[in-house]
Amino acid sequence: DRYTAAFAGSKRRFETAKGVFPTGVTHDARMMDPFPVYITHAKGAHKWDVDGHQLTDYFVGHGSHLLGHCPADVVQAVQDQMAKGTHYGACHDLEIEWGQLVRKLVPSAERVRFTGSGTEATMMALRLSRLYTGRPKFLKFHGHFHGWHDYVTVSADYPYDAPGVPGVPDDVARHCVAVPPNDLNRVEDALKADPDIGAVILEPTGGHWGAVPIRGPFLKGLREVCSRHDRLLIFDEVITGFRVAPGGAQAFYGVTPDLTSLAKILAGGLPGGCVAGRADVLAFIEPRAGKPKMKHPGTYNANPLSASAGVATLTRVATGEPCERANAAARRLRNKLNELFEARDWPWVAYGDFSMVRVVPNYQGARPSPTAGDNDGLVPFDGDVNALDGAKNMKAYYAMRQAMLLNGVDWWGFAGMTCCDHTDAVIDHT
Ligand code: PMP
pLDDT in tens, 404-416: 999 999 998 788 9
Residue 352 backbone zone (phi > 0: left; psi -120 to 50: alpha; other: beta): left
Q: Indicate where the chain has its CATH 3.40.640.10 domain(s).
A: 72-317
Confidence of residue 369 (pLDDT cuts 50, 70, 90): low
117 lines ligand 1 (CB under 6 A): yes
Q: How high is the pLDDT of residue 372? A: 56
The residues that bridge with 39 in the sheet, in sequence order, are 49
Confidence of residue 358 (pLDDT cuts 50, 70, 90): confident
Collect contacts of 37-44 with beta carbons under 8 A, ≥24 apart: 37/7, 37/10, 37/405, 37/410, 38/9, 38/10, 38/13, 38/14, 42/69, 42/70, 43/68, 43/69, 43/70, 44/68, 44/69, 44/70, 44/419, 44/421
Look at residues 179, 96, 173 and name the one whose alpha carbon lies nearest to residue 141. 179
| Ligand 1 atom 15 nearest Cα | 118
Q: Indicate where the chain has its CATH 3.90.1150.10 domain(s).
A: 2-68+322-429
Determine the length of the chain: 430
ipTM of this predicted structure: 0.99
pLDDT higher than 90, residue 383: no
Please write the tens of the pLDDT for every residue from 54-78. 999 999 999 999 999 999 999 999 9
Q: How high is the pLDDT of residue 290? A: 96
Look at residues 44, 38, 201 and name the one whose alpha carbon lies nearest to residue 118. 201
**Greatest CA separation for the chain:** 69
| Ligand 1 atom 13 nearest Cα | 118
% of the chain surpassing 70 pLDDT = 93
Ligand 1 center to 385 CA (angstroms): 21
Confidence of residue 373 (pLDDT cuts 50, 70, 90): low
Averaged over 154-178, what is the pLDDT? 92
Report d(CA 126, CA 200) in Å as an integer: 9
Ligand 1 center to 13 CA (angstroms): 27
In this structure, of 70-79, 90-99, 241-250, 413-422, the range with the lowest mean pLDDT score is: 413-422
401 lines ligand 1 (CB under 6 A): no
Cβ pair 50, 42 in contact under 8 A: no
Whole-structure pTM value = 0.96
| Ligand 1 atom 14 nearest Cα | 118
Judging by DSSP bridges, how do beta strands 137-141 and 197-202 pair with one another?
Answer: parallel
% of the chain surpassing 90 pLDDT = 82
In this structure, of 121-125, 174-178, 413-417, the range with the lowest mean pLDDT score is: 413-417
Q: How high is the pLDDT of residue 381? A: 52
Q: How high is the pLDDT of residue 377? A: 45
Q: How high is the pLDDT of residue 363? A: 74
Asked if CATH classification 3.90.1150.10 holds for the domain at 2-68+322-429, the reply, yes or no, is: yes
Confidence of residue 158 (pLDDT cuts 50, 70, 90): confident
317 lines ligand 1 (CB under 6 A): no
Cβ pair 3, 406 in contact under 8 A: yes
Cβ pair 338, 370 in contact under 8 A: yes
Q: Which of 59, 66, 145 to mutate to test the pocket of ligand 1 (most atoms within 8 A of CB)?
A: 145
Ligand 1 center to 67 CA (angstroms): 19
pLDDT higher than 90, residue 264: yes
Q: How high is the pLDDT of residue 390? A: 47
Please write the tens of the pLDDT for every residue from 203-214. 999 999 888 889
Q: Estimate to the nearest angstrom the gap between the alpha carbon of 259 and the chain centroid.
A: 16
Q: Which of 59, 202, 239 to mutate to test the pocket of ligand 1 (most atoms within 8 A of CB)?
A: 239
184-195: b (≥16 Cβ within 10 Å) or e: eeebbebbeeee
Ligand 1 center to 210 CA (angstroms): 14
CATH of 72-317, one of 3.30.1300.10, 3.40.630.10, 3.20.10.10, 3.40.640.10: 3.40.640.10
Ligand 1 atom at minimal distance to the Cα of residue 120: 16
146 lines ligand 1 (CB under 6 A): yes
95 lines ligand 1 (CB under 6 A): no
